[in-house]
């Protein structure tokens, strides 16, 4: 695993090569911000297939993001939440969720508990689907809408609550999500007092992703730094 010192040194080498030593040096805090944003962009690009083939298209690409794959059960919210239709169920998902990769519901019916497919629909699609007897929800088909809200936690840090609203013909017993989580930031040194945290973190930490992605992250980070310097 590349150390924070190696990340900082390799960033400086690329930065000086690209800018021909014409641009001023960057602080470790500034480099940490660029590296973290680059890391997020690379993860998103791999998932969408804009960096390489899409996630799970090959074993190699799947392995790249495997450290970020988690599984959790949604937490049912009983009150204080709006529903698009009476009888729907709203579940709160983990704060670190970035992309869902698999969803499953267990639905209780007159014949017992059954596994049901979760079908994501947009707000506009919902009513057309809801009224269509061939596409509507049933005991083995649960419609899912997504939304969220920005909130402040105890440390006054902004984050988003993520919700899934599920519509089913039966009673939903459980809702399970496997997902790609947000990567931890790359922070080259403990963040000094008075500086904003990076994704809620302040202690030095290195990249946990596959080493084959490190060069992509470095190049993306330096290019982002270059675009900021050139436009300033």
pTM of the model: 0.83
Select the more confidently predicted residue: 18 or 202.
202
pLDDT value at position 135? 62
pLDDT digits (tens, 9 = 90+) for 173-219: 999 999 999 999 999 999 999 999 999 899 999 999 989 899 999 99
Token pair for 141:
């088909």
Summarize the confidence of residues 27-33 as an average pLDDT.
97
Residue 159 — pLDDT band, cuts 50, 70, 90?
Answer: low
Residue 66: pLDDT band by 50, 70, 90 thresholds?
confident
* Token representation of residue 124: 């506009």
What pLDDT digit, counting tens, does each position of 118-143 carry?
999 988 888 877 776 666 666 688 99
């Amino acid at each position: 695993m590349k150390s924070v010192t190696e990340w900082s040194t390799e960033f400086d080498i690329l930065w000086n090569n690209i800018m021909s030593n014409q641009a001023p040096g960057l602080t470790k805090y500034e480099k940490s911000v660029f590296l973290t944003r680059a890391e997020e962009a690379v993860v998103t690009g791999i998932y969408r297939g804009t960096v390489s083939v899409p996630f799970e298209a090959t074993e190699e690409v799947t392995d790249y993001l495997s450290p970020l794959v988690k599984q959790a059960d949604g937490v049912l919210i009983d009150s204080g939440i709006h529903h698009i239709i009476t009888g729907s169920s709203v579940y709160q998902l983990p704060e670190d969720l970035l992309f869902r990769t698999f969803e499953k519901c267990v639905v209780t019916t007159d014949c017992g508990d059954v596994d049901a497919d979760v079908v994501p629909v947009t707000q506009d699609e919902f009513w057309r689907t809801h009224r269509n007897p061939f596409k509507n929800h049933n005991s083995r088909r649960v419609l899912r809408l997504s939304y969220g809200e920005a909130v402040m936690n105890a440390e006054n840090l902004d984050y988003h609550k993520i919700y899934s609203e599920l519509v089913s013909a039966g009673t939903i017993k459980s809702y399970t999500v496997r997902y790609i989580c947000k990567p931890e930031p790359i922070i080259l040194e403990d963040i000094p007092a008075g500086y904003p945290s990076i994704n809620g973190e302040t202690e030095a930490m290195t990249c946990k992703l596959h080493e084959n992605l490190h060069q992509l992250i470095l190049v993306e980070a330096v290019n982002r730094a270059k675009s900021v310097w050139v436009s300033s």
